[in-house]
Structure 1
């Protein structure tokens, strides 16, 4: 089993959110992702998608996008991004009866000795006007990551953490999310969220404090799933 990752699919069956505001490379980006996906991912492979799956606002509007992903090769684990407003309760997501998609929500999944866990995270790359509200969300996401990591730790083996937001602060230093990865001895961390030239300037990758870090924003990888194992 090979493991791939790609974030920020930004599928848009409603055709209301063109992504070329981030550059002309986003023109026909959905077709690029699907074509590149089919070239490298096999039916038995695992694909990790840490957030910003669909521009849909409601779950019934996201179904078409989710079905397109469901039909692609591989088993997919999907996490929530800041634009996934359609994201719903676990019971409603499970009732979609998607064949190849699993949703990451305060849990973890194990495949061939690899435990996959994670959460959305929160944005420490920008200032927020409402500091108290920001802190509340930040701490809630930290707790969700802890729950997921504890679940993964019970299963043993290698730990891969999916985050949507980078686990670094506004000056590029590891934040509390990254410290938690170290505490639980995570092996790999993937994240997305950063787009365009301005966003890509904030990308940090490589082996950082014994954690292998990958930025897997789709445009950062030229809309190609990245093999991480």
Structure 2
């Protein structure tokens, strides 16, 4: 089983939102994603989708965006992004997701010999401190991430790979420690994936958190091709 990741699909089949306002590279991006996905991913593979999947405002509309993704090869694991306004409770989401689509919501999932945990994350302090509201939201996301890590520890078997998903980057230049990175330090995953940043080449983004490899997988930075993270050999 190979593990891929791609974030920020920004699909909008029901609520048209032209992504070309963010640059010409977004022209026809859904078809580009689907074509690149089919060229790379096999049915037995795992694809991580760390947020900003659909511009929909309600679950039924989002399901129309997710349906063509569900039809693509591989098992998919979803995480909420800051623009996934349609995201409902965990129970409603899991009842609606088609076979082969899983979601991480304050918990973790195990697919083959890979355990996936994560949370959306939030803005982190960089050169400037956060305001009170942003600090509160960051602390809440760190608590959710901690719950997810605890669930992952329960699921993880000897030899399993642990992958931690975030939507927001784990830290902000000059990369001081923050509540999210402290949870990562405790969890010690094998690798981290995150999205959210557009117009940033992956090689210029944050590439590790205290020695743990970190991968920016926003779709435009990947030229809309899911990024191969690892081959588990399973």
TM-score, normalised relative to structure 1: 0.91
Q: Is the 8 A contact 1:50 1:164 kept in 2?
A: yes
Deviation at 1:24, TM superposition (A): 0.7
Matches within 5 A, 1:3-14: 3-14=3-14
Q: Give secondary structure in 2 for the equivalent of 1:220.
A: helix
Deviation at 1:186, TM superposition (A): 1.1
1:186 aligns with 2:189: yes
Deviation at 1:173, TM superposition (A): 4.0
1:144 aligns with 2:144: yes
Change (3 A) 1:43 1:67: same
- 1:168 aligns with one of 139, 153, 171: 171
- The aligned counterpart of 1:84 is 84
Change (3 A) 1:172 1:202: farther
Mapped to 1, the partners of 2:67 and 2:127 lie a distance apart of 36
- The aligned counterpart of 1:49 is 49
- The aligned counterpart of 1:217 is 218
Deviation at 1:146, TM superposition (A): 0.1
Q: Give secondary structure in 1 for the equivalent of 2:164.
A: strand
Deviation at 1:93, TM superposition (A): 0.9
Unaligned regions of 5+ residues in structure 2, if any?
Answer: none
Q: Is the 8 A contact 1:187 1:210 kept in 2?
A: no
Aligned residues: 226
Q: Is the 8 A contact 1:167 1:176 kept in 2?
A: no
Q: Give secondary structure in 1 for the equivalent of 2:196.
A: coil
Q: Is the 8 A contact 2:202 2:215 kept in 1?
A: no
Change (3 A) 1:200 1:38: closer
Mapped to 1, the partners of 2:71 and 2:127 lie a distance apart of 39
Q: Give secondary structure in 2 for the equivalent of 1:196.
A: coil
Q: Is the 8 A contact 1:167 1:174 kept in 2?
A: no
Deviation at 1:110, TM superposition (A): 1.2
- The aligned counterpart of 2:18 is 18
Runs of 4+, deviation exceeding 4 Å? 125-128, 199-202
Unaligned regions of 5+ residues in structure 1, if any?
Answer: none
Change (3 A) 1:101 1:125: farther
TM-score, normalised relative to structure 2: 0.89
Q: Is the 8 A contact 1:104 1:117 kept in 2?
A: yes
Deviation at 1:223, TM superposition (A): 0.5
Change (3 A) 1:73 1:174: farther
Q: Give secondary structure in 1 for the equivalent of 2:220.
A: coil
Deviations 1:85-111 (A, max 9, x none): 000011211221411111110111112
Change (3 A) 1:77 1:184: same
Mapped to 2, the partners of 1:55 and 1:21 lie a distance apart of 14
Mapped to 2, the partners of 1:15 and 1:189 lie a distance apart of 31
